[in-house]
Structure 1
Amino acid sequence: MTGTENRCRLVLIVPEGDDIAARRTMLEDALRGGDVASVILPQYGLEDSLFQQHAEALVPVIQHAGAAALIAGDTRVAGRARADGLHVTGGLEALAEAMEKHSPKLIVGAGHAKDRHMALEVGELAPDYIFFGKIGGDIKPEAHQKNLALAEWWASMVEVPCIVMGGTDPQSALAVAETGAEFVALCQAVFAEPANAAQAVAAVNALLDEKAPRFED
């Protein structure tokens, strides 16, 4: 592994919004800032047909930048929008069903592992990744300590990659990287000021390039 591949990488979570054009511009700007492994597009409160429209507009933007587009919400939307994968926020049954239907054709990852026991149950299903934290959970500058502790424990013993929700401060990405996690998810840290999204992505990548621990080949 070389370059960004051998250290913690950035995952973006698209914030809530109902203006498709504004969201597209915001994403295009952010993705110009540098390396992004994947982008999670949550459904939030959008009804299915409207979410479909948003996904069809945003998935190509994500993929054009070389990132994987992951849908969190109606799984049918992922197929219709030709997304790269699904971010499953339901329980084990929902994850197992999604994997049976869509893996390995699509990336299937799991959120809402709130403790070690739940994480191990998720791990037994062997998803493509596990997510520590929750979408919308970035309400403080730093990443939640519980999620950092889970990631450090997980990364030391389980091969399934993990994504950890960072905080509202872009610098929180480094604390996540130091756990050994493969990915850090940011939302407000990048998109709170959309005009500065590209600079935020560039700054996080520079920080991780300089200070993040490297994985062994």
Structure 2
Amino acid sequence: MSNTENRCRLVLVAPDMPDIAERARVVGDALKGGDVASVILPQYGLDEADFQKHAEVLVPIVQKAGAAALIEGDTRVAGRAKADGLHVSGGADALAEAIERHAPKMIVGGGNATDRHRALEIGELRPDYVFFGRIDGDIKPEAHPRNLALAEWWASMIEIPCIVMGGTDSQSALAVAETGAEFVALRMAVFADPAQAPSLVAAVNALLDEKAPRFED
């Protein structure tokens, strides 16, 4: 078993699948591939009732695999589904409200940190993590250069962990790790071909084990 605590770890963004059973199977299979720190469950186009149903099925699967289940945005859904935390995609105001109401009982993090000023505003709120990029922002093979630059700047001076959205190529995880970021988020890089998800999670972990820089104690 590799030591994942001293290197960048993988965060998965659950794929957009309207069928609950298929989504649960695909996410569950991916989690069998190796170390995953957390899984972010976006609402996508689901109404609250359907999002609730998805969360109630997916959260236990994620937790059973030893990962943290983070619900995007909807605090009521997160509470009812007994999720581990909230991912807030809005700006500082939305994040501040979520932290005030739900921390430290729940993990609360997020972002919309599109530049250094916004990142520092978010950092002043002391969230559990800051997210660079959008959870649906994996539109190119590589991670967005701006997010990599922000992460490198952030990791060099701020203790709050950061998650950086990777690209559609699983190899983009290494570029994120090289910034000093604690976590890399992948979505389409893992789930574009659901049958390959477990082996891709395993491959990303092997890549990070071999080549990711190690954090100092």
For residue 107 of structure 1, what is the aligned residue in structure 2? 107
For residue 73 of structure 1, what is the aligned residue in structure 2? 73
Give, in whole Å, the separation in 1 of the partners of 2:210 and 2:47: 42
Q: Does structure 1 retain, via aligned residues, the 8 Å contact 2:92–2:111? A: no
Q: Secondary structure at the match of 2:87?
A: strand
For residue 140 of structure 2, what is the aligned residue in structure 1? 140
1:160 aligns with 2:154: no
For residue 191 of structure 1, what is the aligned residue in structure 2? 191
For residue 173 of structure 1, what is the aligned residue in structure 2? 173
1:96 aligns with 2:96: yes
1:205 aligns with 2:199: no
For residue 124 of structure 2, what is the aligned residue in structure 1? 124
Give, in whole Å, the separation in 1 of the partners of 2:138 and 2:91: 21
Give, in whole Å, the separation in 1 of the partners of 2:75 and 2:90: 12
For residue 22 of structure 1, what is the aligned residue in structure 2? 22
Matches within 5 A, 1:37-52: 37-52=37-52
Q: Which runs of 5+ in 2 are unaligned?
A: none
For residue 87 of structure 2, what is the aligned residue in structure 1? 87
Give, in whole Å, the separation in 2 of the partners of 1:89 and 1:141: 22
Percent identity of paired positions between Structure 1 and Structure 2? 75
List per-residue Cα deviations over 1:84-107 (Å, max 9, x = no partner): 000001121111110011000000
| Deviant stretches of 4+, over 6 Å | none
Q: CA-atom RMSD, angstroms?
A: 0.7
Q: Which runs of 5+ in 1 are unaligned?
A: none
List per-residue Cα deviations over 1:107-151 (Å, max 9, x = no partner): 000121000000000000000000000011001110000000000
List per-residue Cα deviations over 1:51-109 (Å, max 9, x = no partner): 00000000000000000000002111000000000000112111111001100000000
Give, in whole Å, the separation in 2 of the partners of 1:61 and 1:164: 24
For residue 53 of structure 2, what is the aligned residue in structure 1? 53
Give, in whole Å, the separation in 1 of the partners of 2:143 and 2:216: 25
1:149 aligns with 2:134: no
For residue 216 of structure 1, what is the aligned residue in structure 2? 216
TM-score by length of 2: 0.98
List per-residue Cα deviations over 1:182-212 (Å, max 9, x = no partner): 0000000000000000000000000000000
Q: CA deviation at 1:47?
A: 0.4
Q: Secondary structure at the match of 2:127?
A: coil
For residue 8 of structure 1, what is the aligned residue in structure 2? 8
- Number of equivalent positions: 216
Q: CA deviation at 1:174?
A: 0.2
Counterpart AA for 2:120 = L
Q: CA deviation at 1:214?
A: 0.2
Q: Secondary structure at the match of 1:3?
A: coil
Q: Secondary structure at the match of 2:184?
A: strand
Give, in whole Å, the separation in 2 of the partners of 1:159 and 1:94: 22
Q: Does structure 1 retain, via aligned residues, the 8 Å contact 2:111–2:122? A: no
List per-residue Cα deviations over 1:159-202 (Å, max 9, x = no partner): 00000000000000000000000000000000000000000000
For residue 63 of structure 2, what is the aligned residue in structure 1? 63
